[in-house]
């Protein structure tokens, strides 16, 4: 049973780097959980579980070599499991395997925290999982990893000026570099702190503190004019006025 002095030891298992990055970003704000490892497939996760104690595992289903559900069936004494997947058709099988919760991608922060709350409810001695309001001031300087040319590149969140969607890719602009990575802009939007970033267009997300000027039609960031989408005008107006 967990205590106020021992964190929940958590393993992340997913073959998609950006999915792992979302979980890492969310968990970076939760002081009661410690990420002890991440694996890109079930085979690697099996080896990790043999070598280290794990209290909670976030587990994807559709992975190469072995499905997450088949992997879970093979474990004699599995840790608590929260399934993360884009495929709702596996929900019944997941619950038959007695998982704590079943999260459908893209995963919102609020839904993520509810899943962690279920873990706490199963262990009364656990330190309470923080609410969304508690996460507005993270203890450490947040960062994200992006896969670029077969390597993971670290980007501090504070350095991001804006993000541009390029169909199945996004282009991340910072003060010193530009990165292109295969990821939907909607999934990156979930990873960025909502109090610091604003979706102004289906193709653009901007850092609020990097906006130099704005009109009803566009915002200017680092000398670049970015259009405000028709369906985003009201939200943008409210955010910039406040």
- The residue out of 111, 135, 159 marking a domain boundary is 135
Whether residues 52 and 102 share a domain: the answer is yes
Same domain, yes or no: 44 and 128: yes
- Give me the CATH number covering residue 56: 3.40.50.2300
Distance CA(240)–CA(159), nearest Å, equals 20
pLDDT per residue as tens digits for the range 68-101: 889 988 888 899 999 998 888 877 777 778 899 9
- Domain end (from 116, 135, 154): 135
Higher pLDDT, residue 129 or 242: 242
Q: What percentage of the chain reaches a pLDDT higher than 90?
A: 34
Q: How many other CB atoms sit within 10 Å of the CB of residue 156?
A: 11
The CATH number assigned to the domain holding 202 equals 2.40.50.1020
Distance CA 51, CA 46 (A): 9
CA dihedral for 46, 35, 59, 126, sign (positive or negative): positive
180 with 108, same domain: the answer is no
119 lies in the same domain as 13: yes
Last residue of a domain, one of 135, 163, 182: 135
Of residues 159 and 90, the one with the higher pLDDT is 159
Residues 216 and 125 in one domain: no
Arithmetic mean of pLDDT, 175-194: 84
Listed range (43-52, 132-141, 147-156, 197-206) with the worst mean pLDDT: 132-141
pLDDT at 133: 44
Task: Please check whether residues 163 and 50 belong to one and the same domain.
Answer: no
Average pLDDT, the chain: 84
Distance CA 225, CA 201 (A): 12
28 and 78 within one domain: yes
Distance in angstroms (rounded) separating the CA atoms of residues 59 and 14: 6
Kindly state the average pLDDT of the residues 196-212: 95
On whether both 56 and 94 belong to a single domain, the answer is: yes
Are 98 and 153 found together in one domain?
no
Domain assignment present for residue 2? The answer is no
């Amino acid at each position: 049973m967990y205590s106020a002095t021992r964190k929940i030891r958590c393993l992340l298992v997913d073959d998609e780097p950006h999915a792992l990055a979302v979980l890492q970003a969310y968990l970076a704000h939760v002081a009661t959980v410690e990420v002890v490892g991440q694996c890109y497939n079930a085979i690697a996760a099996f080896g990790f579980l043999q070598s280290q104690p794990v209290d909670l595992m976030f587990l994807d289903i559709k992975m190469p070599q072995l499905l997450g559900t088949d992997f879970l069936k093979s474990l004699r004494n599995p840790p608590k499991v929260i399934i993360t997947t884009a495929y709702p058709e596996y929900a019944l099988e997941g619950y038959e395997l007695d998982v704590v919760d079943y999260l459908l991608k893209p995963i919102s922060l609020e839904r993520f925290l509810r899943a962690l709350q279920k873990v706490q409810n199963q262990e009364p001695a656990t330190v309470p999982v923080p609410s969304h309001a508690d996460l507005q001031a993270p203890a450490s300087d947040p960062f994200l990893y992006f896969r670029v040319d077969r390597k993971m590149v670290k980007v501090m969140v504070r350095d991001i000026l804006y993000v541009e969607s390029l169909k199945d890719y996004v282009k991340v602009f910072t003060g010193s570099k530009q990165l292109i990575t295969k990821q939907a802009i909607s999934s990156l939007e979930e990873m960025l702190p909502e109090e610091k970033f604003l979706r102004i267009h289906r193709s653009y997300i901007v850092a609020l503190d990097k906006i130099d000027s704005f009109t009803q039609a566009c915002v200017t960031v680092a000398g670049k004019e970015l259009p405000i989408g028709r369906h985003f005008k009201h939200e943008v107006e409210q955010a910039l006025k406040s």
